[in-house]
Amino acid sequence: MPEKFDVIVVGAGPAGTSCAYTCAKNGLNVLLIERGEFPGSKNVMGGILYRKQMEEVIPEFWKEAPLERPVIEQRFWFLDKESMVTTSYKDLEWGKEPCNNFTVLRAKFDKWFASKAVEQGATLINETVVTECIVDEEGKVIGVRTDRPDGDVYADVVVLCDGVNSLLAKKLGFHKEWKPEEVALTVMEVMKLPKKTINERFNVNDDQGVSIEIFGDATQGALGTGFLYTNKDSINIGVGTTLSGMIKKKMRPHHLLEYVKEHPMIQPYIEGAESLEYLAHLIPEGGYKAIPKLVGDGVIVAGDAAQLVNAIHREGSNMAMSSGKMAAETIMKAKELGEYTERVLDSYRTELYDSFIGKDLKKYKDTAHTFEEHPQYFEQYVPLMNRAMNTMFTVDGTAKWDKQKKIMKSFTEKRGKLGVAKDIYRAWRVVK
């Protein structure tokens, strides 16, 4: 006779583990199913873990979790072929507990996080793929089927945290295939570099980290960004653009990464580093408008599977964690009522939309769309900005006033006076 649990959570990423942890902590009998060799073994993330949402799941997690470095400086690079404009914010306060956010390596972090859920009493099984939800005649999800012999297992509620592709939610008809402009393909490499070298190159000490977001030439003008994050003794370097952008520009992802690594502005930072791992992964970037159906009878969708990613700020793991936790809280309420229908579980959806997740995603709901429709932001403004700086700072005897005029002219020549004004307004509207 197959076993029955209170809750089955599919996928031990940040969303699934937060959900399983919270359920187990509150006394529910939870099964967490992960297809990788261990949680995190295949998971990919540029590497910024936001403290706030993690802390809500496990208070003071930083005392114990395998973290790399707290980020004390966020840099932004606007890259052209041989020049760049940069801005940055550095805050030593961020280096002190509880810190602002951290760099992490997912293989280590997810494994640890899942072990905490197990400590709370969750049952974790690895190397097992959930192939579909088991649905009864009335359309209620009553369990899952795995790829193992005698592989059915039942529960009152199934929480789908199976990541961006969420085949399971697709099979339930909750959403359709993502459109190429709704997902970004990101490739990254973890590169080994001695701690001392990292400290020197990034101007930090042992327990300080830097995040660098790269715009412009990193993606050769396509919509997307590159990044460079410091771990303890490695760095993560990556670049991603929407799938549609890649298709349009006929780019191959690994070529793009090679391009970034060889870029004269970036290369010195990774000089001599040895590649440890190459990873590629999709990021859901459809935003607010792409959020699928989130609940059904006996089932809830959370994390990337629900498209909960803020592409502008590259926040995903935090939304995953919060949504997983909210799912758990909803299930606890449902348990009190003894009913797991869509009607009862729907409070998850309303709560989610009311939370920072719903609000942030709504705020940026047109962003990706706008940038996709108007490639000038990435293709033209970054180079223009660089040329402007070049004009301004190259000492060649021209008066500064004349220089400014020249810069304005270069902008308007490219886009037309009205064009520039429109662009500025549009950009302000979507990201304000």
Binding segment toward another protein, per CB under 8 A, in 118-126, 319-327, 349-357, 424-432: 118-126
Nearest residue (CB) to ligand FAD, 88 versus 398: 88
Long-range Cβ pairs for the range 142-149 (8 Å, 24+): 142/298, 143/2, 143/4, 143/8, 144/8, 144/10, 144/33, 144/168, 146/33
Strand partners, 9: 32, 159
Neighbours of 260 (CB within 10 A): 27
d(CA 419, CA 400): 25
Nearest Cα to Cα of residue 33 among 51, 44, 19: 19
Token output for 410: 């270069």
> Of these partners, another protein, ligand FAD, none, which one is at the site of residue 218 (CB under 5 to 8 Å by kind)?
none
Between vectors from CA 389 to CA 384 and to CA 395, what angle results, nearest 5°? 135
- Cβ of residue 9: shortest distance to ligand FAD, in angstroms? 9
According to the binding rule CB under 8 A, does residue 123 interact with another protein? yes
| CA–CA gap between residue 12 and residue 159 (Å, rounded) | 11
Tell me the window of 77-85, 122-130, 171-179, 394-402 that interacts with another protein (CB under 8 A).
122-130
CA distance 429 to 424: 9
Are 44 and 353 within 8 A, CB to CB? no
- Check binding of 14 to ligand FAD (CB under 6 A): yes
Instruction: Name residues contacting another protein, limited to 133-152 (CB under 8 A).
Output: 146, 148-152
Candidates 7, 9, 23, 34; binder of ligand FAD (CB under 6 A) is 34
User: Should residue 131 be labelled a site residue for another protein when binding is judged by CB under 8 A?
Assistant: no
Q: Which does 143 bind (CB under 5 to 8 A by kind): ligand FAD, another protein, none?
A: none
Which residue among 4, 65, 98, 125 contacts another protein (CB under 8 A)? Answer: 125
* C-beta of 38 vs 353, nearer to ligand FAD: 38
Using CB under 8 A, list all residues that contact another protein: 3, 31, 123-125, 128, 146, 148-153, 276
**Which spans of this chain sit near ligand FAD (rule: CB under 6 A)?**
10-16, 33-36, 39, 42-48, 129-130, 161-163, 186, 188, 238, 240, 281, 283, 303-305, 309, 314-318, 320
